[in-house]
Amino acid sequence: MMSIVPRPGRTATGLLTLALVALLLLLDARQSIPINPHAAPSPVALGSGQAPAGAHCTQR
Amino acid sequence: MTAAARPPVRPIRSALSVFSLAVVVFTFALAGPRAALLMLIGLGFGLVLEGLRFGFTGPWRRMIQVRDGRGLLAQFMAIGLCALIAFPLLAASPDELYGAHAPVGIAMLGAAFVFGATMQIVLGCGSGVLVNAGSGNLMALLALLGFIAGSFLGTLHLEWWTGLGSLPVYTLQGSFGERAGLWVTLAGLTGLAALVVRLSTPGQRLPSPRLLLAASLVAALAILNLVVAGQSWGIVYGLGLWGAKAGQAAGMDVLANTFWLAPDHAERLQQSLLTDVTSLTNIGIIIGAFVAMRWRRDPGPQVPRGSAPGRLGILLSGVILGYSARIAFGCNVGAYFSGIATGSFHGWVWFAAAFAGSALALQARPRVLQWLSLSAAATPGGRVRT
């Protein structure tokens, strides 16, 4: 039987994905420590003299 | 749609350019220059992967099923180009730059096999799910939600799985020396490329200029990612973190888990997502893919909706993809691409296990899709990348 519910187009679905990302960032902003702009790392890790502070899927 | 009926593209493209610029400026204002650069790199990945239709799952499938090796050769080329720059950089700045190095283990092997099998069932991998969801594929959005949940669930059980047994972390640099490690990597990739050329059908052995351009751009962006972030391109950690953040927002005590209690992970959980490297590039990929899709005169049709069991199957497949990628220490990006390009032995083992899983799953795929009452077109990779 054919569905009578219209499918959202690609633009609408893409916008929905972006909206979900925005919602995630809003939720995150409510529960995370506010970003301290004065503690931002140097623009580029190479040559900064600092160890990378990020996390990666290869980490345990 | 006739040319006269089509909406004009110039205003849309102008709006997309302004939107992309606004995202980067917004990130800069909130989180500083490194975050803005990483968002820009993620946007670049999204534009290249969607705009030039460069992917991972489709080329593996075409190599296995129709002996078309062009996409796989482009992948090897991208990894090799990245390794050429990454090895000397890692050797020169070992305190500032980290490779994607992980241990080989029993669970890691099994999980890579499961990931490879599942990515062929749904035609979606780590980067593919992000790109397809951003470019408006409804089924990929379902798979992405499952992927987020799965990679978070994987973090909760990672310690148990790795406790089944794993080797120390081996790198080719550590085993053969800095320079010889690079040569071994390039020789390995060349050997694989020669095997692919030999097995491919005549006429399907030379990547198109589009694929060669895409491979070069992906390699360049991966190097930029390493230089700016200090670590290799990855996908899964960010998605697991998104799941952890969602769990926390729902009242779950995520920090009670051993994985998230570790200082590095606890810090990521407490800090903003706009300070997390893989989250920034993941968000950039989604936005970049959306921009590339809307940039076209005709974005193309939506994939078929699929049956209810089919949609549930896609969601669960996303969970399996995320879970297995977390247990395998990465997906096609963090383990296969970045692992091999930075000398991790586990990257090679991941590729072998995942490729074997893919080959097996492709035989079962028609039956699985039939069982789910799902057409091949109604999958996250229904519009297959070449």
Residue B386 has pLDDT above 70, yes or no: no
Name residues whose C-beta falls within 8 Å of residue B108's C-beta, 6 or more positions apart in sequence.
B102, B162, B166, B327, B328, B329, B346, B349, B350
Q: Which residue blocks in chain B are alpha helix, DSSP H?
A: 9-31, 33-51, 57-66, 70-92, 106-122, 126-134, 138-162, 172-176, 178-199, 209-229, 236-249, 258-261, 263-270, 277-295, 308-327, 338-341, 345-371
Region of poorest pLDDT, from A35-44, B69-78, B157-166: A35-44
Tell me whether residues A14 and B134 touch, CB distance under 8 A.
yes
- How is residue B270 written in tokens? 């407490």
Nearest residue in A to B19, CA atom: A18
Confidence of residue B306 (pLDDT cuts 50, 70, 90): confident
Distances from the Cα of B128 to the Cαs of B54, B179, B281, in angstroms? 9, 33, 14
CA pair distance A18, B386, nearest whole angstrom: 25
Which DSSP string corresponds to chain A? ----SPPP-HHHHHHHHHHHHHHHHHHHHHHSPPP-GGGPPPS-STTS-S------TT--
Residue B2 has pLDDT above 50, yes or no: yes
CA pair distance A49, B95, nearest whole angstrom: 8
CA pair distance B96, A50, nearest whole angstrom: 6
What's the one-letter identity of residue B2? T
Q: What is the mean pLDDT of residues B261-271?
A: 94
Q: Taking the CA atoms of chain B, what radius of gyration do you get in angstroms?
A: 20
- How is residue A13 written in tokens? 């679905």
Q: Which residue blocks in B7-125 are alpha helix, DSSP H?
A: 9-31, 33-51, 57-66, 70-92, 106-122
Instruction: Give chain A positions within 8 Å (CB) of B229.
Output: 45, 52, 54
Query: Given this model, what pLDDT does residue B363 score?
Result: 92
**pLDDT tens by residue, B139-148:** 999 999 999 9
Mean pLDDT over the full length of chain B:
94
Beta bridge partners of B98: B231
Instruction: Give chain A positions within 8 Å (CB) of B325.
Output: 57
CA pair distance B290, B244, nearest whole angstrom: 25
Name residues whose C-beta falls within 8 Å of residue B130's C-beta, 6 or more positions apart in sequence.
B46, B144, B235, B282, B285, B286, B289
ipTM of the complex: 0.92
- Which residue from B31, B93, B290 is facing A46, i.e. has the nearest CB? B93
Confidence of residue A20 (pLDDT cuts 50, 70, 90): very high
Query: Given this model, what pLDDT does residue B297 score?
Result: 87
Instruction: Give chain B positions within 8 Å (CB) of A59.
Output: 102, 237, 264-265
**CB B145 within 8 Å of CB A13:** no
Query: Given this model, what pLDDT does residue B20 score?
Result: 98
Residue B48 has pLDDT above 60, yes or no: yes
- How is residue A25 written in tokens? 């960032």
- Which residue from B102, B267, B302 is facing A13, i.e. has the nearest CB? B302
Residue B384 has pLDDT above 50, yes or no: no
Determine the 3-state secondary structure of B182 from DSSP: helix
Q: What is the mean pLDDT of residues B45-58?
A: 96
Does residue B290 or residue A3 have the better pLDDT?
Answer: B290
**pLDDT tens by residue, B232-261:** 999 999 999 999 999 999 999 999 999 999
Q: What is the mean pLDDT of residues B217-243?
A: 97
**pLDDT tens by residue, B167-208:** 999 999 999 999 999 999 999 999 999 999 999 999 999 999
- How many beta-carbon pairs below 8 A join chains A and B? 201
Confidence of residue A1 (pLDDT cuts 50, 70, 90): very low
- Which residue from A42, A49, A56 is facing B334, i.e. has the nearest CB? A56
**pLDDT tens by residue, B89-125:** 999 999 999 999 999 999 999 999 999 999 998 878 9
CA pair distance B133, B141, nearest whole angstrom: 5
Q: How far is CA A26 from the centre of its chain?
A: 10
Does residue B223 or residue B3 have the better pLDDT?
Answer: B223
Name residues whose C-beta falls within 8 Å of residue B125's C-beta, 6 or more positions apart in sequence.
B55, B56, B57, B115, B119, B321, B331, B332, B333
Q: How far apart are the CA of A51 and the nearest CA of chain B, in angstroms? A: 5
Query: Given this model, what pLDDT does residue B317 score?
Result: 94
Does residue B308 or residue B157 have the better pLDDT?
Answer: B157
Query: Given this model, what pLDDT does residue B382 score?
Result: 59
Query: Given this model, what pLDDT does residue B17 score?
Result: 97
Confidence of residue B308 (pLDDT cuts 50, 70, 90): confident
Query: Given this model, what pLDDT does residue B59 score?
Result: 96
**CB B289 within 8 Å of CB B135:** yes
**pLDDT tens by residue, B313-355:** 999 999 999 999 999 999 999 999 999 999 999 999 999 999 9
Q: Mutation test of the interface with chain B: which of A33, A35, A57, choosing the one with the most B Cβ atoms within 10 A?
A: A57
Neighbours of B71 (CB within 10 A): 28
Query: Given this model, what pLDDT does residue A53 score?
Result: 82
